[in-house]
Each structure stands twice: as C-alpha cells, then as structure tokens.
Homo-oligomer: A and B are copies of this chain.
Amino acid sequence: MPTSHLRMENKTAKTRERNKDKSKQEFLDAVGKILTTKGYTSLKVNDIANAAGLDKKLIYKYFGGTDQLLDEYIHAQNFWNNVEEEPLIAEDTDGGKTAAKQILSNQFDFVGNNIEYQKILIWQLAEERASHRKVIDEQEEKGEVLFTHMADRYFGDKAADFRAMMALLVSGVYYLNIYAETNGSVFCGIDIKSPGGREKIKEALNFFVDKAYEDLK
C-alpha cells in the first residue's frame, strides 16, 4: 500500500506513477500472465486487477469491462505471433518446398516454446468469441496470400490437395504441442517434450512435405 504521503520528495517520490497507457499495458500483461499460468478460465476481473497491481475499477474505466480488455489482449497478441512467418518467402525455385519445411519446423518450435500461444490456441478451440473469429480470419487471410503465391501456382489443379496436406500438418503441429503440455507428453509412443521425439516429428514433417512436392507435381 503506497500510503506514503510525503510526495514533496524531489525525486525519490515513490508514489505510483500515474500513467493511463502504462496502466492499460499492465492490465494487458496481467492477462497474458494469468492466461499462461492458469488458463483462460481463470481470467476473472478480480484476479486480473490483482495481478496488475491496480484496482479493478480501472478495467471498467479504461476498457469498458473484462470482455473488452480480453478482446484487446487477443488482438494485440495476434500481431506478435505472426511475425515469424514472414522472413522466408525466399527463392521460388522449388515452388516453396523449403519454405514450407521452414514454416512448419519454425511453427513447431514456436508453439512448443510458447505456452502463452498454446493457451490462446486452446482458448480459440474452447470458446466462441468474436475477437477469436477476427484473429482467425486474419490468419486465414495471411495464409491465403502465401498459398496463392507459392503453392497454388505451382500445383495447379492439385492446389487443393496440397492445402489439405498442409492443413493436416499444421494442425498436427498445433495439437501435439498443446497436448504435450497438460496431461502427459507421450502421443503414439513419441515423447513430444523430449528432444528426440521432437526431432522425429520434424523429420516426419519434412518427409511429408517432400512427398507432397514429389508426387503432387
């Protein structure tokens, strides 16, 4: 409790910094922290305010309510998690084969290492929510340009088949990592949390991509 009344201090005044934007960010951070450690079902106003070290009244003042705070959090997250897909639209000499491998492998590691993102994925699976829909639509749109640019052109009338294969692989990447975190990490006898197991999965991903490009062309 910063009941320190002497605020005449020239500098050392420890009274809480009064900054709306910073406080808003602290609420957003608190959401991420709670989401990561306890899951989306624990995102209650009281707990969020407590984690942020601020009064819950401010959530209503600044965001309008818990839902709007969560919406803002969700949307803010979407920007960060998409950065890693960009940097490899490199050479098109192989129709995007190495790019596809890269993306899958990167995504596999990213999801595996990022519990916060795992929790967001679970949240998307579990709760119908306009802001989830929006984020998902944005991601689909982003994926769409990737597919049309590199794969559709390359695969012609087999484009849809390639997309189906990628859908399976990406889904597998997501599920395996989410699965491994909560109630046991062994799936089909592969320990998804062990380096050896993860290596096997990556090899399987590469194998499937190779075969897709080999046979589909």
Query: Within residues 185 to 215 of chain A, which ones have a CB less than 8 A from any CB in chain B?
Result: 186-190, 192, 197, 200-201, 203-205, 207-208, 211-212, 215
Contact A183 B129 (CB under 8 A): yes
Q: In the bound complex, how far is the Cα of B192 from the Cα of A136, in angstroms?
A: 14
Contact A164 B133 (CB under 8 A): no
A41 close to chain B: CB less than 8 A: yes
**Chain B contacts of A182 at CB under 8 A?**
124-128, 132
Query: Within residues 169 to 184 of chain A, which ones have a CB less than 8 A from any CB in chain B?
Result: 169-176, 178-179, 182-184
Residue of B nearest to A140 (CB): B186
Given contacts A126-B126, A184-B140, contact A167 B172 (CB under 8 A): yes
Q: In the bound complex, how far is the Cα of B181 from the Cα of A133, in angstroms?
A: 12
Given contacts A168-B168, A169-B168, A172-B171, contact A147 B207 (CB under 8 A): no
Contact A164 B122 (CB under 8 A): no
Contact A190 B163 (CB under 8 A): yes
A157 close to chain B: CB less than 8 A: no
Contact A164 B125 (CB under 8 A): no
Contact B167 A176 (CB under 8 A): yes
Q: In the bound complex, how far is the Cα of B166 from the Cα of A175, in angstroms?
A: 13
A76 close to chain B: CB less than 8 A: no
Contact A188 B143 (CB under 8 A): yes
Contact A167 B140 (CB under 8 A): no
> What are 26 inter-chain pairs, A to B, with CB distance below 8 A?
A41-B126, A124-B179, A124-B182, A127-B182, A140-B184, A140-B186, A140-B187, A140-B189, A160-B189, A160-B190, A160-B200, A161-B207, A163-B189, A164-B190, A165-B204, A165-B207, A167-B172, A167-B187, A167-B188, A167-B192, A168-B168, A168-B169, A168-B204, A171-B176, A171-B179, A208-B211
